[in-house]
Amino acid sequence: MKDLFKDLNEIQKQAVSTTEGPLMIIAGAGSGKTRVLTYRIAHLIEKGIDSFNILALTFTNKAAREMKERISSLIGGTEAKNLWMGTFHSVFARILRAEAHKLGFPSNFTIYDSQDSVNVIKKLISEMQLDSDIYKPKQVLGRISSYKNNLITVRAYFNNPELIEADQAAMKPKIGEIYKAYVERCFKSGAMDFDDLLLRTNELLTRFPEVLAKYQDRFRYIMVDEYQDTNHSQYLIVKALASRFENICVVGDDAQSIYAFRGANIRNILDFQKDYSDAKIIPLEQNYRSTQIIVEAANEVIAKNRDQLEKNVWTQNNEGDKIPLYRALSDADEANYVAAEIFNLKLTQQKRNKDFAILYRTNAQSRAIEEALRKKNIAYQVYGGLSFYQRKEIKDLLAYLRVLVNPRDQEALLRIINYPARGIGNTTLNKLIVGADQQDQSINEILENIELLGQAIGLNKPTIEKLANFWTMIKSFQVLLKTEDVYEVAMKVAITSGILKTLKEDDTPEGISRVENVQELMNSLQGFVDEQRQLEDGDPSLNYFLENIALASDLDNGNEEDDKVSLMTIHLAKGLEFPVVFIVGLEENLFPSQMSLNTRQELEEERRLFYVALTRAEKKAYFTYATTRFRWGKIVDGEPSRFLEEINNKHLEILNIEFKGSTKNRSGLDSDLFDGDFSPRYPKGPNPKYQNKQEPPRSPQNLKPISNAKLTHPVGGSLSDLKLGDHVLHDRFGKGIVKSIEGDPENAKALIDFENEGEKKLLLKFAKLKILN
DNA sequence: ACTGCTAATATTTTT
DNA sequence: TATTAGCAGT
- For residue A730, give the nearest of A761, A771, A759, A758 by alpha carbon: A771
Spell A108-137 as b/e; 16+ CB within 10 A means b. bbbbbbeebbbebbbbbbeeeebeeeebbb
For range A274-295, the mean pLDDT: 91
Q: How confident is the model at residue A585 (pLDDT cuts 50, 70, 90)?
A: very high
Q: Residue A482: what residue type?
A: K
The single residue of A38, A201, A228, A256 carrying the catalytic annotation is: A256
Task: Confirm whether A123 is a catalytic residue.
Answer: no
Helix (H) or strand (E) holding A153: none
Query: Is pLDDT larger for residue A303 or for residue A562?
Result: A303
* Strand C proximal to A630 Cβ, under 7 A: yes
Å from the A129 CA to the B4 C1':
28
Q: Residue A562: is its pLDDT beyond 80?
A: no
DSSP characters over A258-320: --GGGTB-THHHHTHHHHSTT-EEEEE-EE-SS-HHHHHHHHHHHTT-SS------EE-S---
Contacts of A564 (CB under 8 A, 6+ apart): A353, A354, A379, A380, A381
* Strand B proximal to A382 Cβ, under 7 A: no
Q: Which nucleotide is nearest to A510 (CA to C1')?
A: C3
Q: Residue A741: is its pLDDT beyond 80?
A: no
Q: Residue A219: is its pLDDT beyond 70?
A: yes
For range A492-500, the mean pLDDT: 86
The CATH number of A10-87+200-284 is 3.40.50.300
Helix (H) or strand (E) holding A1: none
Q: Under a CB-based contact definition with an 8 Å cutoff, are residues A19 and A247 in contact?
A: yes
Q: How many CB atoms lie within 10 A of CB A169?
A: 9
- Determine the protein residue whose CA lies at the shortest distance from the C1' of C1: A633
Contacts of A252 (CB under 8 A, 6+ apart): A24, A25, A26, A27, A224, A225, A226, A227, A228, A229, A269
Q: Which nucleotide is nearest to A392 (CA to C1')?
A: C4
Rounded (10°) angle between helices A194-207 and A232-242: 30
Q: Which nucleotide is nearest to A632 (CA to C1')?
A: C1
The single residue of A12, A33, A220, A520 carrying the catalytic annotation is: A33
* The predicted structure's pLDDT at residue A375: 86
Q: Which part of chain A is CATH 1.10.486.10?
A: 390-505
Among A30-34, A108-112, A393-397, the minimum mean pLDDT is found in: A393-397
* Strand B proximal to A386 Cβ, under 7 A: no
Task: Confirm whether A455 is a catalytic residue.
Answer: no
* Strand B proximal to A427 Cβ, under 7 A: yes
Q: What confidence tens digit (pLDDT) does each residue in A296-326 have? A: 999 999 998 887 777 788 899 999 899 999 9
For range A510-536, the mean pLDDT: 81
Q: How far is CA A482 from CA A486, A489, A524, in A?
A: 10, 10, 20
Q: Quote the longest CA-to-CA distance of chain A.
A: 82
The single residue of A34, A228, A315, A627 carrying the catalytic annotation is: A34
Among A264-268, A531-535, A692-696, A742-746, the minimum mean pLDDT is found in: A692-696
* The predicted structure's pLDDT at residue A227: 92
- Determine the protein residue whose CA lies at the shortest distance from the C1' of C4: A392
Strand C within 7 Å of which CB atoms in A 384-413?
392
Spell A604-615 as b/e; 16+ CB within 10 A means b. bbbbbbbbbbbb
Task: Confirm whether A226 is a catalytic residue.
Answer: yes
Q: Which nucleotide is nearest to A59 (CA to C1')?
A: B15
What letter would DSSP give residue A433? H
Q: Which residues of A does the annotation place in the binding site for ATP?
A: 27-34
Q: Which nucleotide is nearest to A115 (CA to C1')?
A: B14
* The predicted structure's pLDDT at residue A344: 93
DSSP characters over A509-557: HHHHHHHHHHHHHHHHHHHHHHHHHHBTT----HHHHHHHHHH--GGGG
Q: Which part of chain A is CATH 3.40.50.300?
A: 10-87+200-284, 314-379+561-654
Domain A110-189 has CATH 1.10.3470: no
* Strand B proximal to A463 Cβ, under 7 A: yes
* Strand B proximal to A395 Cβ, under 7 A: no
Separation CA A144–CA A493 (nearest Å): 35
* The predicted structure's pLDDT at residue A756: 63
Chain B: nucleotides under 7 Å from a protein CB? 1-3, 9-15
For range A580-605, the mean pLDDT: 88
Å from the A120 CA to the B1 C1':
24
Å from the A122 CA to the C6 C1':
13
Q: Which part of chain A is CATH 1.10.10?
A: 110-189
Helices (H), A634-676: 642-645
For range A718-739, the mean pLDDT: 72
* The predicted structure's pLDDT at residue A424: 79
Q: Which fold has domain A314-379+561-654?
A: Rossmann fold (3.40.50)
- For residue A388, give the nearest of A84, A78, A708, A157 by alpha carbon: A708
Q: Which nucleotide is nearest to A590 (CA to C1')?
A: B12
Q: Residue A517: is its pLDDT beyond 90?
A: no
For range A110-116, the mean pLDDT: 86
CATH class belonging to A390-505: mainly alpha
* Strand B proximal to A597 Cβ, under 7 A: no
The single residue of A616, A620, A629, A642 carrying the catalytic annotation is: A616
Å from the A385 CA to the C5 C1':
20
Rounded (10°) angle between helices A88-99 and A194-207: 50
**Domain with residues A726-771, CATH architecture:** Beta Barrel (2.40)
Q: What confidence tens digit (pLDDT) does each residue in A666-722 have? A: 333 333 333 333 332 223 233 222 222 223 332 222 223 323 332 233 333 445 667
Task: Confirm whether A660 is a catalytic residue.
Answer: no
Query: Is pLDDT larger for residue A462 or for residue A445?
Result: A445
- Determine the protein residue whose CA lies at the shortest distance from the C1' of B9: A632
Chain C: nucleotides under 7 Å from a protein CB? 1-2, 4, 6
Q: Residue A515: is its pLDDT beyond 90?
A: no
